Homo-oligomer: A and B are copies of this chain.
Amino acid sequence: MELLVVKDKRIDYDGSAIRSHWAYRNFGILGNSIVVFRGKCDVKVEEMIDIEDVRAQKEIKSDDMIHYIIEVFDFPNVLLASALQKLFIAKICELLSEYGVKTKRKGDDIYIKDKKLSISIATVSPVSIKIHIGINVEAKGIPKDVNAIGLREIGIDDIEAFMEKIGKALQEEFNKVKKDSLKVRWAE
């Protein structure tokens, strides 16, 4: 799995990055990838993946987020998409713990003292698994009914370092998942 941390510019997330081959189209990265970038979040209704959100007419917005766009081509299966997503979220919580931040994971959501730090979605395209994880840098521009928190409010100020650290950790986690899948014999 290749990792790209975009540091030289901001990219806003409108939901279109969830489409297949986004990393290859935009950055020439072939195969499994994590692309990390920073920018606003404002997901257009027609790009919303979570039908629960569409049904509830939720807004998905934040003024400043770091975004992880993950694509896995091994097998485009929604259960694998959903399992990998939860594992990545759990990994992020483990890393936040190393920063001394106590979190509560509920499925694919990260809470800090009942305040929501992140958003996430996992689905498939006809050829790949796609996962988006967005983490608030600051809790600004977020829909009013969401009690949100951002990285700055928990004392994480070196956003670029955090972007990269998390990116590397998710990359390593996936590589471990993959490696372990290859060293086991099948059971009867």
Please state the number of chain copies in the assembly: 6
Residues of B within 8 A of A20 (CB): 185-188
Given contacts A127-B186, A187-B130, contact A79 B24 (CB under 8 A): no
Asked if residues A86 and B25 are in contact (CB atoms below 8 Å), the reply is: no
Asked if residues A188 and B125 are in contact (CB atoms below 8 Å), the reply is: yes
Stretch touching chain B among A116-124, A139-147, A153-161 = A116-124
Given contacts A90-B87, A124-B126, A125-B186, contact A55 B82 (CB under 8 A): no
Encoded as 1 (CB less than 8 Å from any B CB) or 0, chain A from 29 to 41 comes to 0110000000000
Residues of B within 8 A of A182 (CB): 24, 30-31, 73, 78
Among all A-B residue pairs, the 9 with the closest Cβ atoms: A90-B90, A78-B181, A82-B181, A123-B184, A87-B87, A83-B83, A107-B176, A126-B186, A80-B80
Give me the interface of A with B, judged by CB distance under 8 Å: 18-21, 24-25, 28, 30-31, 49-52, 54-55, 73-87, 90-91, 93-94, 97, 105, 107-108, 121-127, 130, 173, 176-188
